Chain A
Amino acid sequence: MKQNVYYDFTKEFFTINGCLIEEKNAKHMKVLLTRQMDESLMNRPFYWHYMKKMNREGDPMSLSFKDISIGEEEEGIYLHAGTPKLQQIYQTALEKGYITRLYESINHPTHNLAMHPWLILNMKITFRGKQSKDKILSIGLNLINGAITHNMMELLEHIKLIQKISDYTFPMTPMIKLESAYNRIIQHVETYLTTLDTDWAEQSIQQFNYEKQLLQKFFHSDDIGEEQYQKELDQLAIRYKPRVTIKIANGGLFYLSVHTSQNLLT
Chain B
Amino acid sequence: MIDTRIDPAFFTQLTNQLEESDSLCSWDEFKLAWKGLNLQTTPEFDGLLSLTQLPHINFLEHQVDACEKVVHEMSGRAILADEVGLGKTLEAGLILKEYMIRGMAKKILILTPASLVNQWTQELSEKFYIQAASPRKKHADWKNWDITVTSIDMAKRENHKQEILSIDYDLIIIDEAHKLKNHQTKNYQFVQQLKKTYCLLLTATPIQNHLSDLFNLVSILKPGYLGDLSTFKKKYKNTHLGAADTQEHIHSLLSKLMIRNLRKDTGLDSSKRHVKNITLKFNKEEQEVYDELDAIKKDYPSFTWLTLTKELCSSREACYMSLQNMHKKQPSDLLKHLIDRLGELPQHTKAMKMAELIQQSDEKFIVFTEYRASQFYLQWYLQQKGISSVPFNGKFNKSKRDWMKQLFKTKAQVMIATEAGAEGINLQFCNNIINYDLPWNPMRLEQRIGRIHRFGQTKDVNVFNFAIENTMEDQIMKLLYEKIQLFQNAVGDLDAILEKIPGGNFETHVQKILQESESQGEIDIKMKNLVSYVEYNVKERKESS
Contacts and interface: CB of A to CB of B under 8 A. Distances in A.
A, B bound: yes
B175 to A, nearest CB: 21
Contacts of B32: 9, 12-13, 16, 93, 96-97
Contacts of A99: 13-14, 17-18, 23-25
B75 A239 contact: yes
Contact of A68 (B1, B38, B55, B229): B55
Interface size class on chain B is 35 or more
Contacts of B21: 101
Give the interface centre of B6, B21, B52, B197 by most chain A CB atoms within 10 Å: B6
Query: Chain A: interface secondary structure?
Result: mixed
B15 A131 contact: no
Interface stretch (A27-35, A58-66, A82-90): A82-90
Interface string A71-107: 0000000101110100001100110111111100000
Given A94-B33, A100-B30, A218 B227 contact: yes
A97 B104 CA distance: 25
B434 to A, nearest CB: 37
Given A99-B17, A153-B34, A249-B37, A162 B27 contact: yes
A248 B34 CA distance: 11
Interface string A221-238: 111100010011001001
A178 B42 contact: no
Interface stretch (B218-226, B278-286, B340-348, B517-525): B218-226
B33 A96 contact: yes
A228 B192 contact: yes
B75 A130 contact: yes
A223 B27 contact: no
A138 B77 CA distance: 36
A122 B34 contact: yes
A138 B53 CA distance: 26
Interface in A154-201: 157, 160-163, 178-179, 182, 186, 190, 193, 198, 200-201
Given A132-B102, A221-B228, A246-B5, A97 B223 contact: no
Nearest to B72: A131
B45 A93 contact: no
A182 B24 contact: no
B2 A84 contact: no
Contacts of B17: 98-99
A259 interface: no
A9 B24 CA distance: 21
Nearest to B76: A239
B274 interface: no
Interface stretch (A49-57, A139-147, A250-258): A250-258
Contacts of A96: 25, 29, 32-33
A98 B36 contact: no
B2 A243 contact: yes
B195 A98 contact: no
Contacts of A102: 27, 30
B144 interface: no
A94 B43 contact: no
A80 B56 CA distance: 10
A247 B7 CA distance: 5
Contacts of A132: 42, 45, 102-104
28 contacts: A9-B35, A9-B39, A78-B56, A80-B52, A81-B49, A82-B54, A93-B32, A97-B29, A97-B31, A99-B23, A100-B26, A100-B30, A101-B21, A127-B45, A132-B103, A134-B42, A136-B41, A138-B34, A162-B27, A198-B2, A214-B224, A217-B227, A218-B228, A223-B219, A228-B223, A244-B5, A247-B7, A252-B24
Interface of B: 1-7, 10-11, 13-15, 17-18, 21, 23-46, 49-50, 52-56, 71-72, 75-77, 102-104, 129, 192-193, 195-198, 219, 222-225, 227-231
Given A133-B43, A228-B192, A250-B37, 14 more contacts: A9-B32, A81-B49, A90-B36, A93-B35, A96-B25, A96-B32, A102-B27, A135-B43, A163-B24, A207-B75, A222-B228, A239-B197, A243-B2, A249-B33
